C-alpha cells in the first residue's frame, strides 16, 4: 500500500506536483511540494505548495481567491511525482491571467486567451516568464 511515506523527495526535500482539473482533465499547473505542504493539502483539502523562488509555503489562491479544492491525489509508479485532481474555483490557475499555466506552444505563441486580469487580481502585470 502506497502512502505519503513512500514519496521520493529530491535532495531539496521537494516533489513535483501536477495539478489537473477533475472535470475536463486540463493540466492547470505544475508546482513543488515538500512533506509539510503535502500534509497541509491533505489536511485542509486545498492545495498548498513550496515556493522555490520565495522560499516559503503558499496556499494556491491566497491572493487571488482562485483556490483549488482537492478531489483526488495520485502518486506515479516511481513515487517521485504527484498528480492532484482538483476543482479550480475562480476563472484560472495561472498568475498570468490564463486558466492553465500551459497557454503557449513551443514557439512561444499563446494558444489560449486570458480568463482574468492579473493586474486587477494581483495589482501588477506578470510577463509569464
Q: Which domains does the chain have, with CATH numbers?
A: 8-115 (3.10.20.810)
pTM of the model: 0.90
- Give 60's contacts (C-beta < 8 A, 6+ positions apart): 19, 31, 46, 47, 48, 49, 66, 67, 68, 93
* Residues of each annotated binding site: 76-78, 80, 94, 101
Q: Give the tens place of pLDDT for each residue, 92-103.
A: 999 999 999 999
* Residues of each annotated binding site for Zn(2+): 77, 94, 101
What is the spatial distance between Cα 77 and Cα 96, in angstroms, rounded to a whole number? Answer: 32
* Residues of each annotated binding site for Mg(2+): 76, 78, 80
Q: Give the tens place of pLDDT for each residue, 43-81.
A: 999 999 999 999 999 999 999 999 999 999 999 999 999
Amino acid at each position: 500500500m502506497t502512502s505519503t511515506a513512500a514519496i521520493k523527495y529530491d535532495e531539496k526535500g521537494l516533489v513535483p506536483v501536477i495539478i489537473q482539473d477533475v472535470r475536463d482533465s486540463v493540466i492547470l499547473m505544475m508546482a513543488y511540494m515538500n512533506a509539510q505542504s503535502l500534509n497541509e493539502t491533505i489536511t485542509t483539502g486545498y492545495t498548498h505548495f513550496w515556493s522555490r523562488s520565495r522560499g516559503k509555503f503558499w496556499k494556491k489562491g491566497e491572493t487571488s481567491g482562485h483556490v483549488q479544492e482537492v478531489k483526488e491525489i495520485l502518486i506515479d509508479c516511481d513515487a517521485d511525482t504527484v498528480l492532484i485532481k482538483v476543482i479550480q474555483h475562480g476563472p484560472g490557475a495561472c498568475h498570468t491571467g490564463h486558466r492553465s499555466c500551459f497557454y503557449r506552444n513551443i514557439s512561444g505563441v499563446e494558444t489560449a486567451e486570458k480568463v482574468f486580469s492579473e493586474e486587477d487580481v494581483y495589482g501588477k502585470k506578470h510577463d509569464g516568464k
